[in-house]
Structure 1
Amino acid sequence: MTVLIPRTLAEYILLGPTGDRRQLQDSPILGDVWIAYASEAGPQELLITPYKTNTAGLVANWIDGEVDHDRLMHNASGREPREIAYLQGVIAARLYFDEVLRVIVPTTSWWSSARIQGDMAVYLQAASGSQRINAVLDTVQEMAAHWSDPKTIKKSAGMLTALDRYAALAGIILWAAQTTTIGPDAKPAELAAAIKAGKGDIARLLTDLFSEILDRQEQNDANRRKQWKDSLVYQVSLNRRADMAVARSVPSVKADAARLLFTVNCAEIAWAVIDSGIQGDHPCFKDATGKESRVVASFDFSNFRKIVNLDNLRIFNENEDPEVQEGKLKQLLPDGHKLPEGQKLKQAGAKLISNLVQLSRDARAQRPIHWELVEPFIEIKIDTRPSVSDHGTHVAGIIGARAPQKRTKAIAEDDRIDGMCPDIRLYDFRVLSRNSDEKDTEFAIIAALQYIRHLNERHDYISIHGANLSLSIKHDVRNYACGRTPICEECEHLVESGVVVVAAAGNYGFQSFTTTDGAFESYAAFSITDPGNADGVITVGSTHRSLPHTYGVSFFSSRGPTGDGRLKPDLVAPGERIHGPFRDGWGDLDGTSMAAPHVSGAAAMLMARYPEFIKQPRKVKKILCETATDLGRERSFQGSGLLDVLRAFQSI
């Protein structure tokens, strides 16, 4: 059983004691990655950012080959598949900690800097290296002892360089994954004592690690360096989990009045709902005839990385067992997709396998993703039941539900309501995991955003005018500049391509705080989540569905400003007890997830009435913000105020 290193101890080693702590650590392994490996043995889902002079395809292929070689050298071929896949500007991989240390870090500019290489020279000399490692571990033992007993916390006597802290924490995490001297629930004093007793093992692990890295560089550096310029990798972060940012609210934003006064018809506007999935055959999504669904297409991206990763070249080769290949193929197919029987199975399976192999070959050749080869694995029937929750169906209903035309006993009066745009067309993008044991990842959302750009580039006209992301990813301030995370950057690319992007502000506006006097609950500023931190995105907070002036901003709605001082949220919309469709029937949900689709609907109405604003997302955002109704609250709480669709139309 492995030892778990608490977050507080990992930060203590990496950043220093509380009273003398640095705010940033220097290594390219971002803080959330250190914490993840320290607190959980085994592989982690990572996002690797290439160095600016290299493509994601080149980096992905190099990592795949090096990890393959590394596992062969360490007799670790039985480890979990690495599932390396790439999109424009980012690589996803499932790697073990020692693989990150041996394969990834030595390719970074940090590692090759004169300062780190100078310190490494000391580590790599037999006599001085042993002395330095022992001195560092002595200091870390002292730090661990101080950490385990807060009453004795003080400045550590030893002075640690950036490489010293990196080496110390790396050695302890490697040791913790192997030791059996104590269990995962050890008390701080027991853990500190175990680290002291394990000093020799930690020193050996570090010596072996640095020696192997040096040997690899000397043997292969010349050949491998021909493949890239400068450094290969910029940094390593976690492939973060996305969460759902979870009444007759349309009159509160005056959308019904705007429809009547301005004769708005959104039938030519299409909106992407990037969420848990839309129940496309729900009666509220029927067109005016009541026969066809307005959900144009459904795509399941929750399995995307398994479809495009480089492992498929190893799995789908002529030497692999056909039954194993068939089983793997079934895992990759979307919900509701069944392979035919007999001879048709061979034909259909052969075609799908051919797609997978070609995708992997394209990745090997560093070519962009051929989306037409991906589509058979992500396109699903619109009536496929979302397996995660009602969330996506509810969000889509706020944007585009249509009240049933006929009154029946089976339909309650409360369920006879229109969404913001009852004639809009919808695209269903499912990015939350189909299986509860799989993580919902940032990589899947980025893939969906890039696919929207691909769909729009197929024609001279725009196919999808806007995207709603009622999703929330916590922003770790030590890892990225605010608004510059991979998902925020991808949202900015989509905005620049002419698509309106609307995001929930998040539901972290009410938090529990701990002080020396105990815990207390209060409102939390600077709590906007990603992708709401992106500058070009319209970020939406929540207010009461019918009494916004009375209650102001919902207690749960994330507050601004952003971490770098920009005004967010941009505006607020109803998000409390919002009535909308579920997979079966109707129901109420709360959250900024429910507020965001009101703004998506408003943006769609503007473009439907005034087509000149199509492909002008920043103008749309400007109009909606400038015409919002001031609720008399703090700007960093309410943004520009309450969405006012009628005033937006009257301003033009």
Structure 2
Amino acid sequence: MAKPSYPKPLSEDVLRSLVLGTFGQARWTQDSPIVPDVWIEYIKMAETAARNSAGAAQPASNPSELFPPPKPVDLLVTPWTGSSAGQIARHIRTGLTSPELPRHDPATAQVAPSSSRVAARLDFFALLHIVIPLTGWWRGLTADEVKIATDDVTTSIRRGGPQLEFLRFVALAGFITAMYRASTPARVRELNAIATRIGTDPAHGHRPLENIEASLKAGLADLIQHYFAFKPPGLRAEPQIGDRIWLVNLNRQSSRTMFDARKTVKADAAQRVFDTDGKGIVFAIMDNGVDAGHVGFVDRDNPDVMARLKDGPPLQTADLGWSSRVKATYDFSALRALLSDAASLPSDNSPAGVPATPTDSLRKAMLKLKACADEGLGLDWFIAAPLIRISHDDKYAPPNDDHGTHVAGILGAYFEDSDFDRPLIGVCPKITIYDLRVFAPDGSGDEFSILAALEFVGWLNRDRDNPVVHGVNLSLALRHDVDSFGCGKTPICDACNQLVGSGVVVVAAAGNTGFEGVSKQSLGNGYRTVSITDPGNADDVITVGSTHRRDPHAYGVSYFSSRGPTGDGRRKPDILAPGEKITSTIRDNRSQRLDGTSMAAPHVSGAAALLMARYPELIGRPKMIKKILMDTATDLGREPAFQGAGLLDILRALQAV
């Protein structure tokens, strides 16, 4: 029997018209707690599910009977001001056990709070039943507004206001619900036609609303019927303290974005003139991991280390605790699963399912996290941090990729026996490094892990007068969703600005999206402005673009380097540093050349560290450090939105203080 022929999926233009232009009244700014990209992702999943349900019997009204089962979307939930991430996480976990959602497994959803947000993998019906009722927008609706909207669709659309916003929500929720129930090609075509009408009429159809009233109301009535079949919780339920949601967006996926270069930024001259090498300063590398066992990171101020390097025996993994300048390693890619597993432990607090350890410390810590989750408390770093710390002993797990080790080497390696013909020396050869891993061993990463790592640095520095970490290097990138956030106002940008406000220097790569042509041959096409990635869009971070390692005046801005201005018109990047063919450390005591703004950023991190090492009064004043670096940069004569202030000049920066 031939497989039914389904229509093509809705095009991206139709999807965006449906979500952003419902009833032909386009919205260009965010006015709903569910951001547009979340809606679009759920619509795409519903369409895929409809195609996979060919030949299935029409399911009943309960969402648990839908076939195939809805798939989850990884979400990042922002609590309302004054609400608690821990309380929101508890509400979501409790909701997942509701009889109306029997397919859900809280462990699969991996609900986990950071200090400010909650990550959760939820299917569409969990979003409707659990998340929407907790939003301030939902609780702000009145029964009368809903009745007016549903009784007089045409008037509500024409007048706009709260009724129209409710109808927009129902149209989208109902469309997705109906699509999940569609089991024939004819029904999918019908729904696609309804989506097109609701998304484009009347503005795109150039017809008075009255002329399409019948078809529009008929389609909307069908969607309303499907939505209310699930009996969402009552409107205007009295909010409890700490249980309101402000915003729901996608948990975005992240990606990772020295000899001559060191001379180009005058790090060698600065060290000779000012006798500074970064000693006493601590920088966190948020990446896929730094190989703490690389000989380029040994502590050369430790006489025992130097004795072992000179006369042997060779340093071993078990010696990392005292021999390496990489002082600590934490795996934030494991944090979410850890918190989710702890929250899913038996409710009677029994130790069943908790792995046993010789000291029983893991069992006790997991049960403490379970207690925090049950109480709706926030993330307790005193409990969680030791559980994600990777020990620097004979059980040490090196990273699975070279990127983070390469970045750290540019910042602070001293590698005499490199694969090239001379020693490889970083900008700050005596700096101390914290390895904060925000990418999993398979290379995947998300916004939640980075947010947690940033908040962890804030927690380490809770005594502002005695900071543990002075700066953070972020050689990574997240694409900015313009439909969902203002530029520089995404969760990771907000977290970076807050960390700068607490006194920490934050340096971010501008991104490698400056050229996206199919081929590397171009007569103007392929180059992109307004291409800075997050967190480089954050106002207070030092955003770094790339230039040539040896001849920046000749070659200018690297073709791949993301260019400004930002989407809201601010000048970015802030500064340039070498990012082409940069030689640095990689795993297994080797070195290699790599390209990217990922390589440019640690040059600037090193410059900031040298300033703080030479002038301790600058510690805790990241905005002043940013100003000094920009004011003393060398103008390369390029467009300011491409080069920012120009090329980093460390010697001039040190002389300017």
- Identify the TM-score tier after normalising by the shorter chain: 0.7 to 0.9
Q: Specify the alignment match of 2:49 in structure 1.
A: none
1:257 corresponds to 2:269 = yes
- The residue type equivalent to 1:210 in the other structure is F
1:99 corresponds to 2:116 = no
SS at match of 1:490: helix
SS at match of 1:68: coil
- Counterparts of residues 407-426 of structure 1 (less than 5 Å): 411-414=418-421, 416-426=423-433
Contact 2:630/2:645 (8 A) holds in 1: yes
SS at match of 1:249: helix
Query: Aligned residues: percent identity?
Result: 42
Q: 1:166 aligns with which of 164, 169, 172?
A: 169
Q: 2:388 aligns with which of 360, 378, 383?
A: 378
1:73 corresponds to 2:100 = yes
Distance 1:105 1:512, change over 3 A: farther
How far has the Cα of 1:227 moved from its partner? 1.7
- The residue type equivalent to 2:13 in the other structure is T
Q: Specify the alignment match of 1:481 in structure 2.
A: 486
CA distance in 2, matches of 1:560, 1:233: 33
SS at match of 2:225: helix
- Counterparts of residues 109-188 of structure 1 (less than 5 Å): 109-113=136-140, 118-122=144-148, 128=151, 132=153, 161-182=164-185
- The residue type equivalent to 1:167 in the other structure is V
- Counterparts of residues 462-481 of structure 1 (less than 5 Å): 462-481=467-486
CA distance in 2, matches of 1:419, 1:15: 49
CA distance in 2, matches of 1:93, 1:13: 25
1:493 corresponds to 2:498 = yes
Distance 1:457 1:24, change over 3 A: closer
CA distance in 1, matches of 2:653, 2:23: 50
Q: Specify the alignment match of 2:324 in structure 1.
A: 293
- The residue type equivalent to 1:162 in the other structure is E
Range with bigger deviation, 567-576 or 477-486: 477-486
Distance 1:429 1:319, change over 3 A: closer
Unaligned runs of 5+ in 2: 47-70, 158-162, 198-214, 301-305, 310-314, 316-322
How far has the Cα of 1:390 moved from its partner? 0.8
Q: Specify the alignment match of 2:234 in structure 1.
A: 217
Contact 2:291/2:399 (8 A) holds in 1: no
Distance 1:637 1:374, change over 3 A: same
Q: Specify the alignment match of 1:278 in structure 2.
A: 290
Q: 1:10 aligns with which of 11, 15, 19?
A: 15
- Counterparts of residues 167-246 of structure 1 (less than 5 Å): 167-182=170-185, 192=193, 206-210=224-228, 212-213=230-231, 216-217=233-234, 225=238, 227-228=240-241, 232-245=244-257
1:359 corresponds to 2:399 = no
Q: For each residue in 1:205-255, what CA deviation from the matched residue of structure 2 results, as whole angstroms up to 9, or x when unmatched?
A: 6425336445x327xx66xx25238x811110011111111x531100000
1:305 corresponds to 2:332 = no
Q: Specify the alignment match of 2:596 in structure 1.
A: 591
CA distance in 1, matches of 2:255, 2:421: 28
Contact 2:177/2:226 (8 A) holds in 1: no
Q: Specify the alignment match of 2:569 in structure 1.
A: 565
Q: For each residue in 1:302-341, what CA deviation from the matched residue of structure 2 results, as whole angstroms up to 9, or x when unmatched?
A: 01112223x534335569895xx25xx5xxxxxxxxxxxx
CA distance in 1, matches of 2:526, 2:497: 32
- Counterparts of residues 603-642 of structure 1 (less than 5 Å): 603-642=608-647
RMSD, matched Cα: 3.4
1:543 corresponds to 2:547 = yes
Q: Specify the alignment match of 1:456 in structure 2.
A: 461
Distance 1:106 1:318, change over 3 A: closer
- The residue type equivalent to 1:419 in the other structure is G
Q: Specify the alignment match of 1:390 in structure 2.
A: 402
How far has the Cα of 1:461 moved from its partner? 1.6
How far has the Cα of 1:105 moved from its partner? 1.9
Distance 1:281 1:362, change over 3 A: same
Distance 1:610 1:238, change over 3 A: same
Unaligned runs of 5+ in 1: 140-159, 330-344, 514-518
How far has the Cα of 1:21 moved from its partner? 4.0
Contact 1:508/1:524 (8 A) holds in 2: yes
Distance 1:195 1:386, change over 3 A: farther
Q: 2:85 aligns with which of 51, 56, 63?
A: 56
Distance 1:377 1:435, change over 3 A: farther
Q: For each residue in 1:532-572, what CA deviation from the matched residue of structure 2 results, as whole angstroms up to 9, or x when unmatched?
A: 11111111000111111111111111111112222111100
How far has the Cα of 1:183 moved from its partner? 12
Distance 1:194 1:643, change over 3 A: closer
Query: How many residue pairs align between the two structures?
Result: 579
How far has the Cα of 1:18 moved from its partner? 13
TM-score, normalised to structure 1's length?
0.81
Distance 1:640 1:209, change over 3 A: same
- The residue type equivalent to 2:558 in the other structure is S
TM-score, normalised to structure 2's length?
0.80
- The residue type equivalent to 1:475 in the other structure is H
CA distance in 2, matches of 1:536, 1:67: 39
Distance 1:79 1:233, change over 3 A: closer
CA distance in 1, matches of 2:262, 2:465: 34
Range with bigger deviation, 261-270 or 536-545: 261-270
Distance 1:118 1:26, change over 3 A: farther
How far has the Cα of 1:397 moved from its partner? 0.4
CA distance in 2, matches of 1:200, 1:98: 24
Distance 1:565 1:201, change over 3 A: closer
- The residue type equivalent to 1:533 in the other structure is N
Contact 1:4/1:38 (8 A) holds in 2: no
Contact 1:385/1:583 (8 A) holds in 2: no
How far has the Cα of 1:266 moved from its partner? 1.7
Q: Specify the alignment match of 2:210 in structure 1.
A: none
Distance 1:527 1:511, change over 3 A: same
Contact 1:578/1:590 (8 A) holds in 2: yes
SS at match of 2:74: strand
Distance 1:382 1:632, change over 3 A: farther
How far has the Cα of 1:39 moved from its partner? 2.1
Distance 1:78 1:50, change over 3 A: closer
- The residue type equivalent to 1:209 in the other structure is Y
Q: Specify the alignment match of 2:435 in structure 1.
A: 428
CA distance in 1, matches of 2:195, 2:375: 48
Q: For each residue in 1:271-306, what CA deviation from the matched residue of structure 2 results, as whole angstroms up to 9, or x when unmatched?
A: 100000001101111122246211111111101112
Q: For each residue in 1:448-467, what CA deviation from the matched residue of structure 2 results, as whole angstroms up to 9, or x when unmatched?
A: 11111222226852211111
How far has the Cα of 1:98 moved from its partner? 1.5
SS at match of 2:248: strand
Distance 1:620 1:648, change over 3 A: same
Distance 1:396 1:14, change over 3 A: same
SS at match of 2:278: coil
- The residue type equivalent to 2:225 in the other structure is T
CA distance in 2, matches of 1:300, 1:446: 13
- The residue type equivalent to 1:351 in the other structure is S
Distance 1:414 1:484, change over 3 A: farther
